[in-house]
Structure 1
Amino acid sequence: QHQQDENDDKLQQLRRLLAMAISRARNSVVIGYKESEKSDLVKYFTPGTFDEIDL
């Protein structure tokens, strides 16, 4: 978990890395996680820009 501070350097770095990885994808991106291990980055996904599938 990261600090709630939006200026948290580690969180900002992880957001940039994820954005770079997604922007380099050619067709689609699959991001999987266990609900108990959900990353703080998930809250930054814009609703309507992804399909959520519960397995």
Structure 2
Amino acid sequence: MRDGVVLLADRWTPRGGADGLPTALVRSPYGMDGVVGAMMGRPLAERGFQVLIQSER
């Protein structure tokens, strides 16, 4: 960000790779403690998406 804040992100992909797959971007104010990834990242990756979960301010 312009003010120097770094927004963290986790990327989830299907086991077979992510080349050419659609991407779901999920932005969450709830932190990166794994709950959001377990609820959103894993299920979408298992259905053929690559998923980027980004923390908000």
More strand by share: 2
More helix by share: 1
